[in-house]
Each structure stands twice: as structure tokens, then as C-alpha cells.
Chains A and B, each alone.
Chain A
Amino acid sequence: MATGDEGMISPADHIDPVPRRQFVELVLGSGVLATVVAFVYPVLRYLVPPKELDLGSDAVVAGRVGELKPNSGKVFRFGNRPGLLIRTAGGDYRAMSATCTHLSCTVQYRDDMQQVWCACHNGHYDLNGRNIAGPPPRPLELYEVQVRGEEIFVRRRREA
């Protein structure tokens, strides 16, 4: 923070004052511009909402109406785990975790037995997720199903 000493010859004097000022302004200007861009760019990208809608409260679109025939099922993605959406022979929808409680294989819906079945060690669950035969020690966690318009929403059961 010192003031310059007048009268002393320094190497800087050999550079013409006007181009020097322009050089400084160039450096400063481009630096500021660069930083402003570096900060504004992420913010602008941030403001644009992502394509995957955040439905919050663990609700996921498991399928569309008409996608499943009665007495059939499909595995869908529920957060980080697989879920099973079943359309019973009577036409109503059930949803439950598709992770077998025995050794975590992915279960499937068997239309010939109208039960949920695990191919790894022959575990059987009924349509309420209860473990009814084979090694699984616990039932499958049931989820809540809501049909809104054309879409079938599945969410975790709310505690009371």
C-alpha cells in the first residue's frame, strides 16, 4: 500500500502508460467476466428444473392403466429397490417390495399360482405379501397404490 516514488527510473516506465492501462483493464475485465460467467452459468443451469420430476414422499409412477392385464404383474423401480405391481384376477392393483426377505432375490408374479414367487429358493408369498411357503422368514413390505387418471402411483405406507 505504498505510494510510488517519483523521479526514479524503473523498468515499468519503459512501457507506454496508455497501452499499459489498457492491458490492466483487459486483464481485470476478462477476469471479472470469466468469474461472472463461471458463477452465473451454474446458477442458470440450476434454475432449469430437471426432467425427472421429484414427486417427493416416495411416490413413484409404477405403470399406466391398461398396461397390465388382470392376473399379471410387473417389476418396477421404487427408489433404489425393485417393487412389484400386481393386477389381480379381480382387476384391482397391489404393490409390494420385490426384494425377497430370504436372500434378497427379486420375486415375480406367477399367474398360474396367483401368488408371488421367488425363483431362487422357491419361496411363496400370497397377494398380501405374507410369506406362506418356503424359506422366506418375513412378509414382503406392502405399498399403497393410487390410480390417478392414466397413471398408477405407488408410495410407502404412511404411519398413522
Chain B
Amino acid sequence: MAISHSNGWMLPGGLLGCLMLWAAVATGQTKNSCLDCHSNLPEPLGVTQEKFSHDIHAQKGLTCASCHGGDPTSDDPDKAMSRKAGWKGKIDRKQIPQLCGTCHSDTTYIRQFNPSLRTDQLSQYRTSVHGKRLALGDTKVAVCTDCHSVHDLRAPTDSQSTVNPVNVANTCARCHADANYMAEYKIPTSQFAEYGKSVHHEALVVRGDLSAPTCTTCHGNHGATPPGFASVANVCSTCHVFQAQLFDASPHKEAFSSAGLPGCVTCHSNHGILHPTDELIGTDEKAVCTQCHTEGDAGFVAAGKMKQQLVQLAGAIDGADQILSRAEQSGMEVSQASLDLVQARDVLTKARVTVHSFNVARIESEIKPGMETAAKDYDAGKKAMAEREYRRVGLGVSLVAIALVLVGFRLYLKQIES
């Protein structure tokens, strides 16, 4: 077919079209005209290409239009942001959970991206304090985007994600530590500060130990509700199994629930959980026992006895450790005794857990073998020090012999020189 003048544009036009298609496919990006304008706009309308590149939705191929509607292929603002094209504009806060849920509650849809991703977040959310209040019209509560961020939403496994376990407390604190923001709700705002002092914070945020809890571990994330006083102990016991079991079998369980006191929290606090020391138990003013027990009652006596047991064993271990170190530094062989001392330390660690049974006889029977081991090791240390003395004696003997020789030489010399 001859190429006439009127059809002359077909070939180059077709080529150009192919080129564009190829470019679009090759770069893997569907055209997103929204960013062309909005990357140059100031806040709150601005979303830079760089920011959006971190967003997991963008990485999976979704565009602005996936949530906001409209036509992302058109460069004409009127066409792009037309109601006909389904443009929603800024999403109303009350609508956000619903919007996210259109995909995230759809198992079939989500399966294409990550089959193991949960799809119950929306239904969970509706049971939470945040969800319930939102349904009543309170727009101050958290919605999806408050915690997960928006436009640069990262997967929770990303260390920079606002919902990565290490960062969760900071995210919750944005509202829950703001006294002014929370004023009308009449709940404390000291939790974040307290958590910052706790041993859980130290483990999770400072040491990076992901087995330690943050806000959402105990309160839930989407179905966030504080556990009621009756169920707080259940939360703690998911990790602290032994202590919970012992406590449940102890007289304190009944006593606490009838007094309306939450287990665990009463002695250990809920947010500011500090590393427990032996000072927590006993009969002096620093101990928690004296908050309820007074001089003369059975509990007071028991507390005193338990404290004494722990302190005794800790002291015995310390004493053995000191003498063994001194012997070792003098060059004595004490490795077997040092190893045995480890067993005594095990006993002490276990006894500190058994304290939660509040059963004096039980603790005494556990501590006894520990004391025996510590005493044995102390003896080993003493023996090593005795060996050290033996060396001194040996030295003394040789020095006497040497002195004898010197005297003998002196006399001999005098003799042959006179």
C-alpha cells in the first residue's frame, strides 16, 4: 500500500504510541498525574514523589485514585478531579476505616498481595474504644491513618514504620501523652512516661528484644481496649506463666479479687514496671507487702521470712563468689567451685519466682539446697586460700635454707681466708 500524504502520520504516530506504551510498561508505573501537581503544592495538599515512594500501596502499584478516586491519567485538573471520574477529594475522618476496609477486609483481594495478611482489622476496630467513639461522632479518636500514617505508609516490619513494635509507644503517645488533647477524656496521660522507665521499654526499644511488650501487646492494636482489672493478670500471664500460676494458687488471688485489686499490677505497676529487686518484698517501708500487711499479722511475718531467705542465699552466694575470686586472682584453681556456684544462682533465680506463691515453707525448701551449694563453694574457696598459704610456707622454708647456705658460705670464706 502506498503511503499517501494523509496517512503519513500513521506510521510515526503509531511508533510514538508504541514507544509511550513501552515506556509505561518498562518503567512499571501507571501514569499518576496527581503527583505531577501535588508534588509541588505546599502542605496539606503536598505529597512529594519521594514521600510516596516509601508507601507500600504505591510500591504494590496502587495510585492516588485507588483511594481518592478520579482519573490519574488525565493532566487536566478538572477532568482528573471530576465527580464523574469518582473523585472523592479529602476523605472525611469518619469514613477512613470504611475506606481502608474496602480492600483490607476483602480476603480475596488481599490474597493477591499477601495471603497471610489478616483481614479482620476493621471488625476489630469497631469493638475498640476508638471505633466505638468514632461511631458516636468523636473524630478526635485514632483512625487508621493516625497510627499507620498515610501516603508514606510502611509495612510494620519496616524499622521506620510508625507501627513497628519498637515505635508503637511513640505513635500512641502522640495523643495519649498529650494532656491538653486528652483533657476531656479524663484518663491519665502518664503512661508513656512511665513506660519509658520500665524494664519492657529497656528490652524492646533500647536492646531491640522483640519479645518484650509495648502498648499494643497488652492493649491490642486494632481492637484497642484497656484490660479490665480482673483480666490484667491474664495479659501478664501470657508471658510470665510461672508467676501467674503460682499467684493463682496463692491466698493473694482470692484476697485481691475480693478487695477489687488487680493481680500483678498492684505490686508491679502496669506501665512503669521496674526491674524487681529483693527490696520489693519484706517488711520495711520500701517493700510492697507493707501496703497491706502490718506488724503482727500472718502476712507480715511471712513476708519477713521470705525476704530473709532470699537475702541469706544472696549473701552466701556473694561471700562464696568473693573468696573464689580472690583465690583465682592468686592463681588458684577454682573452676569447679565457680561452676557449682552457678547452680546456687539458679536456685536464687527460681526462688524469686516462687515468691509469688507466698508460701514460706515452699521457699525454704527451695532455698536449702542453694545454701548448701554456696556453703560448699565457700569451703572450696577457703581451701584454695589455704593452698595459697601453703605456698607462703614453702617459700619461707626455702628462704631459711637459702639463709643457711649464705651463712655457711660466709663462715667457709672466713675460714679459708684467715
Q: Which residues of A contact B (CB under 8 A)?
A: 1, 3-4, 20-21, 23-25, 27-32, 34-35, 37-39, 77, 79-82, 99, 103-106, 119-122, 134-135, 137
Q: Can you give 5 contacting A-B residue pairs, CB < 8 Å? A: A3-B418, A34-B400, A39-B398, A121-B353, A137-B211
Q: Which residues of B contact A (CB under 8 A)?
A: 203, 207, 209, 211, 239-242, 335-336, 338-339, 342-343, 345-346, 349-350, 353, 397-398, 400-402, 404-409, 411-412, 415, 417-418
Instruction: Write out the residue numbers on chain A whose beta carbons fall within 8 Å of the beta carbon of B406.
Output: 31
Instruction: Write out the residue numbers on chain A whose beta carbons fall within 8 Å of the beta carbon of B417.
Output: 1, 3-4
Question: 8 closest A-B pairs (Cβ-Cβ)?
Answer: A28-B408, A31-B404, A4-B418, A31-B405, A34-B401, A27-B408, A38-B398, A24-B411
Nearest-Cβ distance from residue B350 to partner chain A, whole angstroms: 5
Tell me the bound Cα distance from A33 to B343 in angstroms: 49
Please determine whether B408 and A122 come into contact, CB atoms closer than 8 angstroms: no
Please determine whether B349 and A21 come into contact, CB atoms closer than 8 angstroms: no
Tell me the bound Cα distance from A82 to B345 in angstroms: 13
Tell me the bound Cα distance from A23 to B411 in angstroms: 9
Instruction: Write out the residue numbers on chain A whose beta carbons fall within 8 Å of the beta carbon of B402.
Output: 31, 35
Tell me the bound Cα distance from A29 to B397 in angstroms: 16
Interface of A is mostly: mixed
Q: A80-B335, A81-B339, A121-B242 are in contact. Are A135 and B211 (CB under 8 A)?
A: yes
Instruction: Write out the residue numbers on chain B whose beta carbons fall within 8 Å of the beta carbon of A38.
Output: 397-398, 401
Q: Given A104-B342, A134-B211, output 10 extra A-B contacts at Cβ < 8 Å.
A: A1-B417, A20-B415, A27-B411, A28-B408, A28-B411, A32-B408, A105-B349, A106-B346, A120-B349, A121-B240
Instruction: Write out the residue numbers on chain B whose beta carbons fall within 8 Å of the beta carbon of A29.
Output: 408
Nearest-Cβ distance from residue B162 to partner chain A, whole angstroms: 24
Among B203, B398, B401: residue with most chain A CB under 10 A = B401
Nearest A residue to B210 by beta-carbon distance?
A137
Please determine whether A80 and B350 come into contact, CB atoms closer than 8 angstroms: no
Nearest B residue to A104 by beta-carbon distance?
B345
Please determine whether B412 and A79 come into contact, CB atoms closer than 8 angstroms: no
Please determine whether B411 and A122 come into contact, CB atoms closer than 8 angstroms: no
Please determine whether A21 and B401 come into contact, CB atoms closer than 8 angstroms: no
Tell me the bound Cα distance from A121 to B336 in angstroms: 26
